[in-house]
Amino acid sequence: MNAFLAQLLNGLDKGGAYALIALGLTLVFGTLGVVNFAHGALFMLGCFCAVTFRYLITLETVTIDPENLSPWGTPVEVRTPLVQNWFGDFGAVLVDYSVPISILLAVPAMLVIGIAMERGIIKHFYKRSHAEQILVTFGLAIVLQEIVKSFFGANPIPQPIPSDLRSAADIGVWLGMDPHTLTYPWWRIVYLAFSAVVIGGVFAFLQFTTFGMVVRAGMADRETVGVLGIDIDRRFTIVFGLAAVVAGVAGVMYTPLLAPNYQLGMDFLVLSFVVVVVGGMGSLGGAVAAGFLLGILQSFASMTEVKSLVPGIDQVVIYLVAVVILLVRPRGLMGRRGIMEN
Amino acid sequence: MTKFRMTRRGILKGAGAGLVTLGAPYVFTKGAWAEEFCNDPSKGRVVFGFNVPQTGSYTEEGLDQLKGYQLAVKHINGEGDGGILNTLKPVALKGNGLLGRKVEYVTGDTQTNTDVARDGARRMIERDGAIMVSGCVTSAEAIAQQSLCQEMGVIYMSGLTHSNDTTGKDKRRYGFRHFFNAYQSGVAIAPILAQEYGTERRAYHLTADYTWGWTQEESIKAATEALGWETVATVRTPLGLGDYSQYLTPVLNSGADVLILNHYGHDMVNSLPQATQFGLRDRQANGKNFEIIVPMFSELMAVGAGDAVKGIIGTSNWHWALEDEGTKAFTKSYGEEYGAPPSQSSHTGYVQAILYADAVERAGTFYPPEVIKALEGFEFDGAGNGPTLYRDSDHQCFKEVLVVRGNENPSSKFDVLNVIGKTPRDKVTYDPSIFGGELGPYEPNQC
Amino acid sequence: MVSLSRTDLSKLAIFAAIVLTMPIWLAPFGAAYPGLMQKFAIYAIFAIGFNILFGLTGYLSFGHAAFLGVGSYTTVWSFKLLTMDILPAMALAVVVTGIFALVIGYFCLRRTGIYFSILTLAFAQMCYSLAYSVLTPITNGETGLLLAKNDPRVLDALFGASASTDGLPHPTLLGGSISGYTGFYICAVLLIVSFYISQLIFRSPFGLALRGIKSNQTRMSYTGFNTKPYTLAAFVISGMFAGLAGALLSVTDPLAGAERMKWTESGNVVLMTILGGVGTLYGPVVGAWLIKYFENIFSAINTNILHSFLSFLPDGLEQVVVAVLSKFVGEGWHLTLGLLFVLIVVFLPGGLVEGSQRLARWLTGRLKGSGAQPHPHPAE
């Protein structure tokens, strides 16, 4: 029972991450009709917003002491962090909470990056073939990750969890079990809540605002909306920016779980495509459902009991589920007819 | 369905055109077969080929290895301060190049992919005329390149490769390994584990699901069970998974009090901090503190695991803070050149290039069988690992193995690990027949 | 009833000449060595095969690397179990890959568009993951399947052609060695044959039917045309080409690794085809050569080479130029590749081949000085 609950939590946690990453991708599919192979790169850029923020607030004054040599023969550097000098204890808190606070940097930064990408390149590709969209966005993804590599190097850069959230919560006690039978890291609980809030926010935005209404109308019938005299292109630009922001903040909050390196985006690219397609192209609800479904099934497939029945199942479960769902349901869980089917 | 009917005329035309042009270029290639052995430098330049990952996950380790190679070429050519040429005993190199000729080098990017690594090695051999190829950061790259080099008759000095197979099941006459292996890790770490954690422990293994992971799991399991430890479970995890939560939660209530992570590189960088986040190290189990062990540290990557590395025990091939003369000499010349201490990856590359050059100097020829014989059974000291033997029966180096622990108070990002023990060479020496394999012939192929 | 037109035959002749003279015209580019030229020929076959599916039917497979892998594994197993001769190995590889493609295609072709792409991706990734881990007894996992001296090699043993040397046996063609340039010419001849077959398919009624499916599958089926056998045939043919390419990889270098089946390899062939030009005859070949050239040559340029290359510049300037250029070669070659993708697709729509044709038309139009632009630039 404990093992089951723990795997369910793992699954929800993974699912939240998958859904959050897939959300922006399916939004761009559904509205702009663009196959965005740079979406993983946007997630990676989000991660590096956190890295950059932490780098900035831990900037130090460096004085070099030429007398004192390090064991490998170069002068020793004496470092003093600036933030602590300026703000004292508040500075220390700022450094401690650098990951969640860096969302403040990530939102505007990713919005700008997203809009620049759409205006600069993507908008010229709305009427081009999907093949060309793939080539240009893939090229863009490589360029983005190489730029990150030249600034930050290729090694993963760990981001710490704020010290208050570093331990594991004793969830078992909340459910009336003995202490220490079911513990779960606080940060993962925070991430689950965070993904729920962001997903809810995006849904509310599209459902309850005029802007969202126009965008949904544009998804359904772009031409008619254009004929009505609404500048749908400008709104789609903002949608792309929004997708970039969602991918970015998903990345920011994920950094303590997975130390970011420049290739992280490629690792998530295939996964997010699978999630989106299993959910059904252009369906937001489908992407969320598929994210949680795949996350939970992946967790349960990793249990030793399951693995002993079907060897290697944990290696392939995501793809197996994708195959089964696509063969049973032609357009994924909630896909609409005609989107990206030819 | 449609049927093709190929007209007789069409085929004749096509075939004729093909045959005519096919014949022509053979004229240009004939000369290539006249050599006595592949890329004989007596007719051209002396070229070393350094093939390391420069893109992908293991870029930093690859580039650091490359720095080691570049330094080695400098020292062989008599530039710089000479590094371990001053401490290596015996040494035949005089710092005037190789057999009096200047050494040049070419580089390549393996992308940590065996196919690309072999492509790179073939370019070095076929186009650039390399007499020796070196470099890798995974065992798959090492095994792929050394089997290719055996085919081509060019000596391959492997870089960072830890699997038993490199000098075991898949050993080759033309392949040499200075780095230690999983078996030696297991033997070396066991006494320290007994001393630190006692002999009554229950271990839970998480193992990367591929060849290296399995050999390491097997070696560590055998070594710890010999101590009296019990193995609760061995669970395989997919390579490059990223999020290990679904494998970590079952550890919590498994009754184990030690978690052994048979993960390398990125797998370790992710699994170790995540295990810490699950509160494993704050737990008590069976009345003891729960411990995590990473038997093989990927040194540069350990930085990526952040604070989670502190206090974790593992093994290492070499460390820049060692006190012997060879280490000091290499660390000093590397530090002056690049402004940072070297990693074990650059050390093994540096030493391999020097050892090859020294063997050529001793053999007095580039002819591979003679160089191989000069390396086989070579006993040397002063290269940073104490007295070392290049064993003739499997081309594995035998030397001390270091046991290291994550530094609790690192003074810089280069100070991640502390050496806490050295297991002597005779303890980590084993019978070569336990892994099987066959070295193959000395006689070089024509490349 | 297909026979090639005169223009097609001359295209074939030109192509054959280009391929067979590679050792000459590649020399100035530093790529005229057997290892790379073999790869040029092999990946061109792979891309030509991929183009038969993607270029003609519009079905974008993201799992073609699986066929490459199956072809390679079959070949090495044939070397291990049957004989070191390459003909049975290649034949077996093509047949096995064909059957494999038939099974996978049967399932995947039930869906179209991106759903088809993800199905192929999922199948290929399953093959890759399993080959890397649980199928290790068959694939030798991470290390890759290698030859061993004590392999049975039943046919060789039967004919008494046991390896006389004490090393590992080498692949042979009817008893002759195929290392070095011979290996390249074998690949080159097969590339020319593949190109010829692809020409035949493009010109045949079968090819026309496939194009019809690409432009409007619904209309095709409304006219009472059963499209499934056609797409399946294209899928299987395309898979067999990939199997042949995989076989050649193992023939020229007897090793088969799981990495060949990874999605990045599938992605590579997609990029090669799009880069060169989808649906054109030459396009995939050009794309394959360009990407392989970057991977092998650009990645090998280090600062030393740059310094010696630019030594004619004044010292200070040379340092600056080398510092800038080194960001784009050696460890930075990916950046150049990424920029190249973006630039080509932005400025040469339709890929290199179509783009250059368009450029040529535009230039000749300008030269003629005709005021009216006969071929307007396509709307973006």
Interface test with A, best of C61, C115, C275 (most A CBs within 10 A): C115
For position C312, what pLDDT does the model report?
Answer: 83
Rounded mean pLDDT of C156-168?
67
The predicted complex's ipTM stands at 0.88
For position C380, what pLDDT does the model report?
Answer: 36
Give domain status of residue C295, yes or no.
Answer: no
Give domain status of residue C162, yes or no.
Answer: yes
Closest Cα in chain B to C188 = B22
Give domain status of residue C216, yes or no.
Answer: yes
C217 touching chain A per CB within 8 A: yes
CA distance B173 to B394: 8
Write down the mean pLDDT value for chain C. 87
Closest Cα in chain B to C208 = B2
Q: Which two tokens stand for residue C259?
A: 């990495």
Would you tell me how many other CB atoms lie within 10 Å of the CB of residue C74? 25
Write down the mean pLDDT value for chain B. 87
Residue C368 distance to chain A (closest CA, Å): 30
CA distance C224 to A14: 47
The answer to whether A262 and A276 are in contact (CB under 8 A) is: no
Distances (CA, A) of C236 to A196, C44, C52, C135, C353: 44, 18, 10, 24, 26
Interface test with C, best of B39, B173, B211 (most C CBs within 10 A): B211
What contacts B12, CB < 8 A, 6 or more positions away? Answer: none
Residue B346 distance to chain A (closest CA, Å): 14
Domains of chain B by start residue, with CATH? 41-180+321-399 (3.40.50.2300), 183-316 (3.40.50.2300)
Rounded mean pLDDT of C190-211?
93
Partner residue facing A326 (CB), from C111, C125, C132: C111
Interface test with B, best of C179, C299, C304 (most B CBs within 10 A): C299
C60 touching chain A per CB within 8 A: yes
Q: Which residues of C touch B116 (CB under 8 A)?
A: 295
Give domain status of residue C48, yes or no.
Answer: yes
Residue B331 distance to chain C (closest CA, Å): 23
Q: Which two tokens stand for residue C298?
A: 């650009």
A230 touching chain C per CB within 8 A: no
What is the pLDDT confidence band of residue A342, given thresholds at 50, 70 and 90?
A: low
Partner residue facing A131 (CB), from C60, C332, C338: C60
A231 touching chain C per CB within 8 A: no
- Do the chains contact at B143 and C144, CB–CB below 8 Å? yes
pLDDT tens for each residue of C19-50: 999 999 998 888 889 999 999 999 999 999 99
pLDDT tens for each residue of B121-169: 999 999 999 999 999 999 989 999 999 999 889 999 999 999 999 999 8
CA distance C99 to C236: 8
For position B5, what pLDDT does the model report?
Answer: 42
Rounded mean pLDDT of C100-124?
93
Residue A44 distance to chain C (closest CA, Å): 16
- Do the chains contact at C114 and A138, CB–CB below 8 Å? no
Q: Which two tokens stand for residue B154?
A: 């060019």
pLDDT tens for each residue of A42-63: 999 999 999 999 988 888 777 7
A324 touching chain C per CB within 8 A: no
* pLDDT over 50 (residue B19): no
Domain range summary for chain A, segments of one domain joined by +: 2-328
Across the A:C interface, residue pairs with CB atoms under 8 Å apart total 138
The B residues from 373 to 432 touching A (CB cutoff 8 Å) are 412, 414
- Do the chains contact at C133 and B239, CB–CB below 8 Å? yes
C374 touching chain B per CB within 8 A: no
What contacts C16, CB < 8 A, 6 or more positions away? Answer: B14, B17, B18, B21, C192, C195
* pLDDT over 80 (residue B10): no
For position A23, what pLDDT does the model report?
Answer: 92
Q: Which residues of A touch C55 (CB under 8 A)?
A: none
A303 touching chain B per CB within 8 A: yes
More confident residue, C106 or A77: C106
CA distance A322 to A38: 22
> Could you tell me the sign of the dihedral formed by the alpha carbons of B439, B441, B442, B445, in that order?
negative
Only one residue has tokens 């989000």, namely A46
Residue C21 distance to chain B (closest CA, Å): 7
* pLDDT over 90 (residue B16): no
Give domain status of residue C89, yes or no.
Answer: yes
Coil, helix or strand at residue B207: strand
C275 touching chain A per CB within 8 A: yes
CA distance A36 to C186: 40
- Least Cα distance to C34 among C243, C195, C177 occurs for C177
Partner residue facing B2 (CB), from C16, C204, C304: C204
Residue C17 belongs to domain spanning? 6-281
Give domain status of residue C109, yes or no.
Answer: yes
Q: Which residues of B touch C255 (CB under 8 A)?
A: 114, 118, 144, 147-148
The number of distinct structural domains making up chain C is 1
